[in-house]
């Protein structure tokens, strides 16, 4: 038969301990005893620790019968240690007629009830029954609170899943639209040529337009693949020792011709002796390429793009500043989201996937970094990123 509850009697008088044990055992309680406050506290700790900490709540005591007047550690001193050991333990103090005021003080300090010596079995059992009932009600209230918290967490997760599902659907629609537009344009150019609407001397012009659209679509597909790889937590990433300044020099070499076509001045200011980072080399190239190519793309002819890399407060700090079209304050909060392009960028050029800055942000987050922007329409932009140095 399962015990009604587990009781610990702490009293220095053998007669009290034995009497309580007999009276409560006959009522179906499991009763242990201790002769002092020190021994009682140790038994409480042992019950909670046990051989298997996960089973501790089942092994803990439900109620403590505690004598207030004991040699050594008094009942009041013992009571003061109880919350740190088991804050849910119900404590009934035992006191003499002369120390009722002390019992009241004990209740103010957390005791549930008190009984005075001498007491009979019925008084003891009534106090313990009420204490156990209080313990059970507290446990049920705690269980209900936990269930309510779990229900709220499940509802939050449900809402998050629904939001993610909506985002996934919107993302799919956007991708489909972005992929369809270049294909439709290419098909239109080819159809005009195939059906003889374009004279031979102008066909090359239309084929070049089709090629330009095809290149735009390849750029979009590449960006989509890069973004998918960055968003896949299970995809292995090959890490190397990377000098971010050396990668920058390589990227500047590849973009120099593009800048020269627009007579854009490329400036570079890199602090010597910068430490290496442990990261994926392709990520490092994508980081610089997206930021610098964007700056060149959206800077009018004769403008300037300045790139810098420095070490500050345990971080590598890179910046790409241009004299381009700039970004409005309202749009700055959106430029790192998928497929977003500012109104000014759309008016400036039709080319662009709206994924470059999203990729940059994901790369930096992979290494604990961050990126920010300062910009004014018509006054240019400055993108600054930070990556912690291990």
Task: Give the separation between CA 203 and CA 209, rounded to whole angstroms.
Answer: 10
Q: Which of 5-9, 216-220, 262-266, 269-273 has the lowest average pLDDT? A: 216-220
Given a cut of 90, is residue 371 above it in pLDDT? yes
Given a cut of 60, is residue 279 above it in pLDDT? yes
The structure tokens 């059992």 sit at: 125
Given a cut of 90, is residue 101 above it in pLDDT? no
318-355: pLDDT as tens digits: 999 999 999 999 999 889 987 788 888 878 776 666 78
pLDDT for 161 equals 84
Closest CA to 25 of 60, 1, 46, 42: 1
Claim: this prediction has a pTM higher than 0.75? no
Task: Give the separation between CA 236 and CA 361, rounded to whole angstroms.
Answer: 19
126-165: pLDDT as tens digits: 999 999 999 889 889 888 999 999 999 999 998 888 877 7
What is the arithmetic mean of pLDDT over 248-261?
Answer: 92
Task: Give the separation between CA 270 and CA 357, rounded to whole angstroms.
Answer: 22
Q: Which domains does the chain have, with CATH numbers?
A: 6-119 (3.40.50.2300), 163-231 (1.10.287.130), 240-388 (3.30.565.10)
Contacts of residue 323, Cβ cutoff 8 Å, sequence gap at least 6: 299, 300, 303, 304, 305, 379, 380
Among left, alpha and beta (phi > 0; psi -120 to 50; other), residue 249 is alpha
CA distances in angstroms from 343 to 69, 309, 347, 353, listed in the order given:
82, 30, 6, 14
What is the CB neighbour count within 10 angstroms for residue 315? Answer: 16
Q: Which of 46-50, 195-199, 318-322, 368-372 has the lowest average pLDDT? A: 46-50
**Per-chain mean pLDDT for the chain:** 87
Given a cut of 60, is residue 54 above it in pLDDT? no
Task: Give the separation between CA 290 and CA 347, rounded to whole angstroms.
Answer: 20
176-232: pLDDT as tens digits: 766 777 788 888 889 899 888 899 999 999 898 888 888 877 877 777 777 777 777
Given a cut of 70, is residue 167 above it in pLDDT? no
pLDDT for 345 equals 84
Bridge partners of residue 6, in order along the sequence: 30
Is residue 243 helix, strand or coil?
A: coil
Task: Tell me the residue ranges of DSSP E strands in the chain.
Answer: 6-10, 30-34, 63-67, 90-96, 113-117, 240-242, 265-270, 277-279, 304-312, 315-322, 370-376, 380-388
């Amino acid at each position: 038969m399962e015990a009604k509850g587990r009781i610990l009697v702490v009293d220095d008088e053998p007669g009290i301990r034995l009497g309580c044990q007999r009276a409560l055992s006959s009522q179906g309680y499991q009763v242990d005893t201790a002769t002092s406050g020190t021994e009682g506290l140790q038994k409480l700790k042992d019950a909670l620790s046990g051989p298997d900490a996960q089973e501790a709540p089942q092994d803990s005591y439900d109620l403590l019968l505690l004598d207030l007047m004991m040699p050594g550690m008094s009942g009041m001193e013992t009571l003061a240690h109880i919350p740190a050991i088991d804050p849910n333990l119900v404590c009934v103090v035992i006191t003499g007629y002369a120390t009722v005021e002390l019992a009241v003080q004990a209740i103010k300090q957390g005791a549930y009830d008190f009984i005075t010596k001498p007491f009979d079995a019925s008084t003891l059992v009534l106090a313990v029954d009420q204490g156990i009932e209080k313990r059970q009600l507290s446990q049920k209230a705690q269980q209900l609170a936990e269930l309510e918290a779990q229900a709220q967490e499940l509802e939050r997760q449900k809402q998050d899943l629904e939001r993610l599902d909506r985002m996934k659907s919107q993302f799919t629609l956007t991708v489909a639209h972005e992929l369809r537009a270049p294909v439709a344009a290419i098909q239109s150019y080819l159809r005009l040529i195939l059906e003889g609407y374009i004279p031979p001397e102008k066909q090359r012009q239309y084929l070049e337009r089709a090629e330009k659209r095809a290149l735009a679509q390849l750029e979009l597909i590449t960006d989509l693949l890069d973004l998918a790889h960055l968003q896949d937590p299970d995809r292995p990433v090959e890490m190397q020792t990377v000098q971010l300044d050396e990668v920058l020099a390589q990227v500047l070499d590849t973009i120099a011709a593009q800048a020269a076509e627009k007579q854009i001045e490329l400036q570079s200011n890199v602090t010597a002796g910068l430490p290496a980072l442990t990261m994926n080399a392709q990520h490092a190239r994508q980081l610089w390429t997206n930021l610098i190519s964007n700056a060149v793309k959206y800077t009018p002819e004769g403008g300037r793009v300045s790139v810098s890399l420095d070490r500050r407060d345990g971080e590598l700090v890179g910046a790409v500043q241009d004299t381009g079209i700039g970004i409005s304050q309202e749009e700055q909060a959106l430029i790192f989201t998928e497929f977003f392009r500012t109104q000014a960028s759309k008016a400036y050029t039709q080319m662009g996937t709206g994924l470059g800055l999203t990729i940059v942000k994901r790369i930096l987050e992979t290494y604990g970094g961050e990126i920010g922007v300062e910009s004014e329409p018509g006054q240019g932009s400055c993108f600054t990123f930070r990556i912690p140095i291990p």
